[in-house]
C-alpha cells in the first residue's frame, strides 16, 4: 500500500482570520517572485481552499453589506461568523490509497482541472497551512522547464506513468517518474523494483509493444527520449538463469548494441508466450515480496479505469450517431473540442468511415508514417458508433504526443494550435503524392491573375494532394509593392484557415480620486493610462507619478460602493480586469512603515426622513466617500486621539472664515495638518506626536466631532465625550461613523467627498460604439486591408536587390469547401499574454463572401453556413474549451463539453467565447444533405 503522508497541526496560538490572510499573502508573494526549476508545489483541494478564502476574508467590514453570496452565511444581525476550516482533506483528489501501487505513489484522479478541483500552492504556503490546520495527504509536485525554448516554468502535476514489463519472468509494475528525470534514474528505479543489478538489464522504449530504441544514454532525460504517458518500458534481463535458450539474442544485444530481426522476433514471441502462460503473474519462485505486490496488470487496470469513467459520462442516446463525448484526461478539453469539430465535418466523417488505408503515405518524411491518420480514423469511428458511452482518447493522445511533444503531458494548450498541427499532420499522412517533384515558381511578369493563380494551384496540387487539401485548403492572392521602385510582386499561396484579428486596444484609461490621510491636501481626481491586462501595481505606479507622492508614503487602493469601502485592493497582483468601467476607485495616501497599523475608515452619515406605510421614519444613511487614516497603537486608544486623527483628515474641507463652536477658526484647522509632524505615520503614535505642544493643535482639542466607533460586537461606542480609552477591534480595519448634522455641514465643504467619478465615463457616442458588437465581416476586412510589413519581415525586392518594408495586400482567390476561421483572441508580447473578450457577431446562415473574392471570373455565389465552433471560457492558460456542433441530419445544435452533451438552441451558439468557427459551403443540391454520412444503421459494420 502506498504511504499516505499527512501533516499535523501545531498547538500554537491561533491567529485571527485577517492575520492568517496577511501571513499567507506575504509568503505567497515572496515565493512567486523567487520560483525556480526544481521548487516544490503542493496540490490542495479547491473545496478546502475556497472555505479558507471565505474564512479569512470575513473580517472585511463591508463584506456583509455588499449583497455578495458570502453575506448569506451571516444571520440577519450579521453577527454570525464563518467557522474555521477543519484539517486539510485532499481525499477527493486521489484514488483509494489502499489500491495504489507503492512504486507509483499516491495516485490523483486523471481528470482534475486546476482552479476547478485543485489549487497549486508554493511549498512555503503549504507548510504554513499544515502548521495551522494539519491534514493531507501531501501531494507534492516539482516545477520543471517547459515550452519549445525550455524557458517557461510549469508545475508537473501529472508525472509520467510508465508500465514496466520484465522479461522473461513476466513481472509488471507501474511507476510515476518525472519526464525531466534521466534514463539512468529509470534504470535505477527499475532495478530497485525488480530486485536486479544494473549490469543485469537493458531497457527498451517499448511504445506500442514495439522495440523503438535501446535506452542506454544514461544522462538523457525521458522528455528528450520522447517517452510518453502510459507507455510500456521493456526491462530485459540479460544472461538470466532461465533464459539460456534465448541467451544468444540477449548477448547479441549486449555485444553489438543492436538486435538481429529474426532473433528479436523469436525472442519476443517467446517472451509473449511466457507472459501469457504466466497469466500476467510473475513466477513466484525466488520472487521477493515486493514483486508479488507489484504484479497486477497495469494495462487491465487502465482499461477498468476508462470503463469506470465511461459509465459516468453522458450516454449517447442509443439510435443517434455522432453524439458521443470525449473524456477529459486532465486539461485535454482543448483537444476534445477540436476533435469533435473535425469528426463532425461531413467530408471527414464519410472519408474515415470508409477504407482510407489505401491512401496512407507510409514513406512521407514529413508525415507520421500513417500512425496519426490511423489513430484519428479509429477515434472517429468510435465516436460515430451508435449507442456508445463517452470515449477516453488515450491512444490518440499518445500518438499525438509522440509526434508533437509540445502537446504531451496534461497542461492546457491552445485548441487552434492543436487544430493546425492535426490538419497538417493528417494531410502529410494521407498525401497521395508519394514522390514530390521539384517545381520552381515563375514570377507573374504581367500575366493575367487567372493564369498565374491556376499555375500556382497546379504546382501546389502536384506536391500536395489529400482529403485535407480537397476539403480545407483555399488560395490567397498576395501583392507586395516596393516603396522605393514600385516593383509589384504577386503570388498565390495556399491556406488552411484564416486567422482574423480582433480590433482592440492594449491600454485603458482609469479615473481615480486620491485622498490624503494627514489633511495636507484636498481630494484630487486623476486619469491615468494603464495596460488593459495589467495589475493593481501598474495602476499604483501610474498614480505615483501624478499625485506628488512623498517618499515616506504609499497608496492604498479601495473600491467604493454605496458610500462604503467594498474592498481594499492591497494585493499588487490583482488583475485590473476585475475593476469594471462603472466601478468607483479611491486611493488613499498612507505612511509606508507603521508598526501595528490599523486602517481607520471614516464613514460619513447624514440624517434622512423616509416615508413608509404612512409613517415617517428618520435614520442615518451613508453618503459621500469614506476617508482612511492609519492608527498605530498596540493597546487601548484614547478617544481624544481618535478625535485628532479624524480632525486632521477633515481639516482641508473646513470652510475658511467659519468659526467653530469652540471659537477656533477653521482656517487654523485647515492648516493644522501642515503643522503636525508628517514622518512615518499619519496617525502618529498616540502617545507622542498627537499630543504635540503645537498651540493650534491644542486649540482644536475642545472641539468634539460626533463620532461613533463600531467595536467587535458590532456595538457603537460614543467618541465625542469623555477622555477614557477604548479598545479597537482585532481586525486591521476599524470603522468609525461621523454623523453630519445640518449645523456641522455648514462648517465643511463636503462636496469634495461626493460624486466619486466612475473609473471610465464614456460619452453618448462612445457608449454607442462600446455596445455595438464587432462584426465578422469587419474582422475579415481588417485582415485583408493593405498595410506595411513589420521590420522583422521585410521583403527582398528583386529589382532593388535590397530588403524593403513593402506594403502587403491579401485577397481571397479560391475558397475551400470547409472554411475554418480562427479569431485571434490571444495576444502575446515579450512580457505579457492576455485574452481579448471581444464579442464578435458572426453569421450562422448566409455568410456571404462573394464580394471578398478577387477572382471575378468565378460568377458562383460564395455562401457559407456555420456547422461547428470551439469556445474558450476563462483566462489564458487556465480556461476551458467546449464545442457547439450542428448535426445536420437532425438540424439541431448540441453543446459538447468533454463527456457531457446537451441540446441547445441556435440562439445560444453566439457568445463572446467563440474561438474557431467552421463553415461549410452552401450548394443548391446540398440543401438536405444529412451530414455527409449515411444513416448509422445502414453503414455500421
What is the DSSP secondary-structure string of 235-283?
A: EEESS-GGGGGGHHHHHHHHHHSS--HHHHHHHHHHHHHHHHHTTT---
Residue whose grid cell is 508545475:
155
- Residue 256 has a pLDDT of 37
Decide if 403 contacts 368 (C-beta within 8 A): yes
Please tell me whether residue 708 adopts helix, strand or coil conformation. strand
**DSSP secondary structure of 185-224:** HHHHHHHHHHT--GGGEEEEE-GGGS--EE---TTSBTTT
SS3 77: coil
Do residues 204 and 233 lie in contact, with contact meaning Cβ atoms separated by under 8 Å? yes
Contact present, 555 and 514 (Cβ < 8 Å): yes
pLDDT at 805: 77
∠ CA(231), CA(233), CA(236), 5° rounding? 160
Q: What beta strand segments (E) does 16-59 contain?
A: 40-45
User: Which has more pLDDT, 23 or 860?
Assistant: 23
In terms of pLDDT, which residue wins out, 312 or 637?
637
Helix, strand or coil for residue 523? coil
Mean per-residue pLDDT for 446-455?
Answer: 89
If one compares 254 and 372, the residue with the highest pLDDT of the two is 372
Taking alpha carbons only, the member of 856, 843, 842 closest to residue 912 is 842
Give, as one character, the DSSP assignment of residue 710: E
pLDDT on residue 462 = 92
pLDDT over 90 at 345, yes or no = yes
Please determine, for residue 467, whether its predicted confidence score (pLDDT) is greater than 90. yes
Burial of 871 (0-12, 13-18, 19+ CB in 10 A): buried
- Does residue 12 carry a pLDDT above 60? no
Which of 22-31, 123-132, 296-305, 920-929 shows the highest mean pLDDT? 123-132
- Going by their DSSP bridges, the two strands 135-136 and 774-775 should be labelled as unpaired
pLDDT in tens, 810-867: 999 999 999 999 998 886 543 445 678 888 999 999 999 999 998 877 778 899 999 9
Q: Which of 386, 242, 368, 513 lies closest to 889, judged by CA?
A: 386
Q: Specify the pLDDT at position 239.
A: 66
Lowest mean pLDDT of 55-59, 173-177, 331-335, 510-514, name the range. Answer: 55-59
Residue 276: per-residue pLDDT: 31
Q: Residue 141 and residue 118: Cα distance in Å, rounded?
A: 13
Preceding amide of 137 cis, omega within 30: yes
Checking DSSP bridges between strand 847-848 and strand 707-710, what pairing results, if any? unpaired
- 526 contacts 514 by C-beta, under 8 angstroms: yes
Angle at 921 between CA 916 and CA 925, to 5 degrees: 150
pLDDT of residue 848: 92
Beta strands in 470-596 (DSSP E): 474-481, 488-495, 498-501, 507-516, 524-531, 553-561, 564-568, 585-591
- Is 50 exceeded by the pLDDT of residue 692? no
On the question of pLDDT at 717 being above 80, the answer is yes
pLDDT tens digits, one per residue of 589-625: 998 876 778 888 999 898 876 555 555 555 788 889 9
pLDDT value for 185: 92
pLDDT recorded at residue 503: 66
Residue 909's pLDDT band, with cuts at 50, 70 and 90, is: very high
The residues annotated with a catalytic role in the active site are 333, 880
Distance in angstroms (rounded) separating the CA atoms of residues 385 and 751: 72
C-alpha 892/C-alpha 873 separation (Å) is 23
Cβ atoms 383, 391 nearer than 8 A: yes
Residue 282 has pLDDT above 70, yes or no: no
SS3 849: coil
**Which of 104-113, 365-374, 669-678, 865-874 holds the top average pLDDT?**
865-874
Residues 256-279: tens digit of each pLDDT: 333 334 334 434 443 433 333 323
Residue 69 has pLDDT above 80, yes or no: no
Secondary structure E strands in 412-468: none
Residue 787 has pLDDT above 90, yes or no: no
Q: What confidence score (pLDDT) does residue 915 get?
A: 94
Which band of pLDDT confidence, cut at 50, 70 and 90, is reported for residue 385? confident
Can you give the pLDDT at residue 160? 86
pTM of the complete model: 0.46
The pLDDT score that the predictor gives to residue 815 is 94
> So what's the pLDDT on residue 379?
92
User: Among 15-24, 308-317, 493-502, 538-547, which stretch is predicted with the lowest mean pLDDT?
Assistant: 308-317
Q: Is the pLDDT of residue 647 over 70?
A: yes
Name the residue with higher pLDDT: 234 or 620: 234
Q: CB within 8 A of 171, min separation 6: which ones?
A: 165, 194, 282, 287, 291, 294, 295
Report cis status (omega within 30 of 0) of the bond before 168: yes
Query: What sign does the CA torsion over 301, 302, 307, 313 have?
Result: positive
pLDDT reported for residue 471: 95
For residue 764, the model assigns a pLDDT of 43
Cα-Cα-Cα-Cα dihedral sign, residues 127, 131, 133, 138: positive
Which residue, 229, 561, 558, 646, is CA-closest to 396?
A: 229
319: pLDDT strictly greater than 80: no
Across residues 659-677, what is the average pLDDT? 35
60-64, 396-400, 870-874, 902-906: which has the minimum mean pLDDT? 60-64
Residues pairing with 511 in the sheet? 527
Grid coordinates in use for 607? 440624517
505: confidence class by pLDDT, cuts 50, 70, 90: low
CB–CB of 884/868 below 8 Å? yes
> What residues does 822 pair with on adjacent strands?
499, 916
Rounded-to-integer distance, Cα 863 and Cα 851, Å: 11
Mean pLDDT of the chain: 76
Task: Over range 147-163, report the average pLDDT.
Answer: 76
Residue 259 to residue 211: CA distance in whole angstroms:
10
Instruction: Say what the pLDDT of residue 679 is.
Output: 36
Q: How far apart are CA 913 and CA 823, in angstroms?
A: 10
Give the closest residue to 422 by CA, choosing from 443, 401, 441, 451: 401
pLDDT, one tens digit per residue, over 743-786 is 888 888 888 888 888 888 754 433 333 445 688 998 998 888 88
Phi and psi based region of residue 647 (left: phi greater than 0; alpha: psi -120 to 50; beta: remaining): alpha
Pairing of β 140-146 and β 152-155: antiparallel
Nearest partner of 6 among 95, 142, 130, judged by Cα: 130
pLDDT grade for 289, boundaries at 50, 70 and 90: very low
% pLDDT > 90, the chain: 23
Amino acid at each position: 500500500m502506498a504511504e499516505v503522508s499527512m501533516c499535523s497541526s501545531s498547538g500554537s496560538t491561533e491567529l485571527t482570520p485577517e492575520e492568517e490572510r496577511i501571513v499567507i499573502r506575504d509568503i505567497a508573494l515572496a515565493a512567486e517572485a523567487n520560483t525556480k526549476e526544481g521548487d516544490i508545489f503542493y496540490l490542495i483541494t479547491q473545496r478546502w481552499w475556497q472555505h479558507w478564502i471565505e474564512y479569512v476574508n470575513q473580517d472585511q467590514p463591508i463584506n456583509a453589506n455588499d449583497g455578495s453570496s458570502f453575506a448569506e452565511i451571516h444571520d440577519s444581525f450579521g453577527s454570525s461568523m464563518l467557522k474555521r476550516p477543519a484539517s486539510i482533506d485532499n481525499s477527493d483528489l486521489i484514488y483509494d490509497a489502499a489500491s495504489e501501487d507503492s512504486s507509483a505513489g499516491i495516485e490523483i484522479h486523471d481528470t482534475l482541472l486546476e482552479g476547478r478541483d485543485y489549487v497549486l500552492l508554493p511549498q512555503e504556503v503549504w507548510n504554513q497551512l499544515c502548521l495551522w490546520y494539519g491534514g493531507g495527504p501531501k501531494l507534492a509536485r516539482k516545477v520543471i522547464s517547459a515550452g519549445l525554448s525550455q524557458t517557461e516554468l510549469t508545475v508537473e502535476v501529472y508525472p509520467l506513468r510508465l508500465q514496466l514489463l520484465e522479461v522473461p519472468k513476466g513481472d509488471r509494475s507501474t511507476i510515476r517518474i518525472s519526464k525531466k528525470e534521466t534514463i539512468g534514474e529509470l534504470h535505477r528505479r527499475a532495478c530497485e523494483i525488480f530486485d536486479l543489478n544494473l549490469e543485469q538489464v537493458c531497457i527498451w522504449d517499448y511504445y506500442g509493444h514495439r522495440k523503438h530504441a535501446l535506452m542506454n544514454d544514461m544522462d538523457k532525460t525521458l522528455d528528450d527520449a520522447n517517452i510518453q504517458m502510459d507507455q510500456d518500458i521493456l526491462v530485459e534481463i540479460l544472461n538470466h538463469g532461465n533464459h539460456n535458450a534465448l541467451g544468444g539474442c540477449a548477448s547479441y544485444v549486449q555485444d553489438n548494441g543492436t538486435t538481429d530481426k529474426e532473433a528479436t522476433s523469436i525472442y519476443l514471441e517467446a517472451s509473449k508466450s511466457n507472459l501469457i502462460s504466466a497469466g500476467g503473474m510473475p513466477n513466484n519462485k525466488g520472487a521477493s515480496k515486493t514483486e508479488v505486490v507489484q504484479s497486477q496488470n497495469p494495462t487491465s487496470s487502465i482499461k477498468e479505469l476508462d470503463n469506470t469513467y465511461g459509465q459516468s459520462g453522458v450516454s449517447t442516446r442509443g439510435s443517434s450517431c455522432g453524439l458521443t463525448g470525449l473524456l477529459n484526461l486532465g486539461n485535454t478539453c482543448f483537444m476534445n473540442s477540436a476533435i469533435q469539430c473535425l469528426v463532425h465535418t461531413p467530408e471527414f466523417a464519410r472519408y474515415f468511415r470508409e477504407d482510407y488505408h489505401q491512401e496512407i503515405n507510409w514513406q512521407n518524411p514529413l508525415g507520421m508514417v500513417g500512425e496519426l491518420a490511423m489513430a484519428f480514423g479509429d477515434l472517429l469511428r468510435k465516436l460515430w458508433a451508435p449507442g456508445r458511452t463517452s470515449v477516453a482518447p488515450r491512444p490518440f493522445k499518445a500518438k499525438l504526443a509522440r509526434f508533437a511533444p509540445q502537446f504531451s503531458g496534461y497542461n492546457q494548450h491552445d485548441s487552434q494550435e492543436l487544430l493546425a498541427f492535426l490538419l497538417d499532420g493528417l494531410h502529410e499522412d494521407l498525401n497521395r503524392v508519394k514522390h514530390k517533384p521539384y517545381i520552381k515558381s515563375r514570377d507573374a511578369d504581367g500575366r493575367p491573375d487567372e493564369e498565374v493563380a491556376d499555375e500556382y494551384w497546379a504546382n501546389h496540387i502536384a506536391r500536395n494532394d489529400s482529403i485535407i487539401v480537397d476539403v480545407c485548403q483555399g488560395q490567397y492572392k498576395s501583392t507586395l509593392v516596393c516603396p522605393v521602385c514600385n516593383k509589384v510582386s504577386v503570388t498565390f499561396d495556399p491556406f488552411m484557415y484564416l486567422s482574423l484579428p480582433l480590433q482592440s486596444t492594449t491600454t485603458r484609461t482609469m479615473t481615480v480620486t486620491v485622498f490624503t490621510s494627514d489633511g495636507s491636501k484636498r481630494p484630487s481626481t486623476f486619469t491615468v493610462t494603464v495596460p488593459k491586462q495589467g495589475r493593481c501595481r501598474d495602476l499604483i505606479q501610474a498614480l505615483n507619478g501624478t499625485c506628488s507622492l512623498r517618499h515616506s508614503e504609499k497608496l492604498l487602493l479601495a473600491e467604493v460602493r454605496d458610500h462604503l469601502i467594498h474592498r481594499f485592493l492591497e494585493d499588487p497582483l490583482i488583475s485590473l480586469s476585475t475593476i469594471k468601467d462603472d466601478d468607483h476607485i479611491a486611493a488613499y495616501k498612507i505612511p509606508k512603515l507603521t508598526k501595528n497599523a490599523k486602517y481607520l475608515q471614516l464613514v460619513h452619515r447624514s440624517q434622512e426622513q423616509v416615508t413608509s406605510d404612512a409613517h415617517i421614519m428618520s435614520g442615518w444613511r451613508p453618503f459621500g466617500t469614506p476617508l482612511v487614516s492609519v492608527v498605530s497603537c498596540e493597546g487601548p486608544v484614547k478617544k481624544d486621539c481618535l478625535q485628532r486623527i479624524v480632525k486632521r483628515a477633515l481639516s482641508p474641507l473646513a470652510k475658511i472664515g467659519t468659526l467653530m463652536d469652540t471659537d477656533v477658526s477653521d482656517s487654523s484647522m485647515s492648516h493644522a495638518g501642515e503643522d503636525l509632524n508628517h514622518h512615518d505615520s499619519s496617525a502618529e503614535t498616540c502617545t507622542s506626536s498627537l499630543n504635540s505642544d503645537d498651540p493650534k493643535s491644542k486649540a482644536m482639542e475642545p472641539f468634539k466631532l460626533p463620532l461613533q466607533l463600531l467595536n467587535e460586537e458590532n456595538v457603537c461606542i460614543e467618541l465625542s465625550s469623555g477622555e477614557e480609552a477604548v479598545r479597537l477591534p482585532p481586525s486591521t480595519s476599524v470603522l468609525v461613523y461621523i454623523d453630519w448634522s445640518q449645523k456641522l455641514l455648514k462648517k465643511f465643504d463636503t462636496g469634495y467627498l461626493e460624486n466619486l467619478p466612475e473609473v471610465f465615463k464614456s460619452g453618448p457616442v462612445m457608449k454607442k460604439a462600446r455596445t455595438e458588437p464587432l462584426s465578422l465581416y469587419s474582422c475579415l476586412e481588417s485582415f485583408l486591408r493593405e498595410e506595411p510589413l513589420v521590420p522583422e519581415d521585410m521583403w527582398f525586392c528583386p529589382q532593388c536587390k535590397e530588403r524593403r518594408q513593402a506594403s502587403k495586400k491579401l485577397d481571397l482567390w479560391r475558397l475551400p469547401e470547409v472554411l475554418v476561421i480562427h479569431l485571434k483572441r490571444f495576444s502575446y508580447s515579450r512580457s505579457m499574454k492576455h485574452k481579448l473578450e471581444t464579442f464578435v457577431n458572426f453569421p450562422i446562415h448566409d455568410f456571404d463572401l462573394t464580394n471578398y473574392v478577387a477572382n471575378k471570373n468565378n460568377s458562383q455565389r460564395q455562401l457559407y453556413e456555420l456547422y461547428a465552433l470551439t469556445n474558450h471560457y476563462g483566462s489564458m492558460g487556465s480556461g476551458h474549451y467546449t464545442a457547439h456542433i450542428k448535426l445536420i441530419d437532425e438540424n439541431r445544435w448540441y453543446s459538447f463539453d468533454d463527456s457531457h452533451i446537451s441540446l441547445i438552441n441556435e440562439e445560444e451558439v453566439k457568445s463572446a467565447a467563440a474561438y474557431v468557427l467552421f463553415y461549410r459551403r452552401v450548394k443548391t443540391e446540398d440543401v438536405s444533405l444529412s451530414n455527409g454520412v449515411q444513416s448509422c444503421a445502414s453503414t455500421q459494420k
